Amino acid sequence: MIDVAKALELLERAVKEKGADYEYQRVYEGNLPVCAYQRGGCPSCLVGTALAYAGVTVDELRAMDAAGFAGIGALYMGDRLPIEMTDDAVDVFQAAQTAQDIGHTWGTALKRAREEAAELEGKR
């Protein structure tokens, strides 16, 4: 089960591997940017990389992509995630994913995930 602390740990590991200045390279289909959890048999985006560290296979990431353009929150709500996580962990991953998908670096995406975690903690 992935909780907020584990989600942050996984995201931090991914950022450490690629670097805080790394920018996810979206592929375009026509004029529309397409983000993917995996490409070419390897984890691709920040959340896909983090989930791979948690044991999600490339085939499972591919299945998440096949579900259509959906953020991790939508996949969670549709019971399409291959791993269990808390609602708050989903929110933390979604914050990182949104920041990455609008063009921010992985370091900024991690910062946004940490801010979301702090906001969630403040609500308790």
Question: For residues 89 and 97, is the Cβ–Cβ distance under 8 A?
Answer: no
Domain ranges for the chain, please list them: 4-122
Q: Evaluate whether 120 touches 88 at the Cβ level (below 8 Å).
A: yes
The encoded tokens of residue 124 equal: 């308790």
The helix/strand/coil state of 13 is helix
pTM of the complete model beyond 0.75:
yes
**What is the pLDDT tens value at each position of the chain, 124 positions in all?**
999 999 999 999 999 999 999 999 888 878 877 889 999 999 999 999 999 999 999 999 999 998 876 688 888 888 889 999 999 999 999 999 999 999 999 999 999 999 999 999 888 7
pLDDT given at position 23? 96
Burial code (b: 16+ CB inside 10 Å, e: under 16) for 69-93 equals: eebbbebbeeeebeeebbebbbbbb
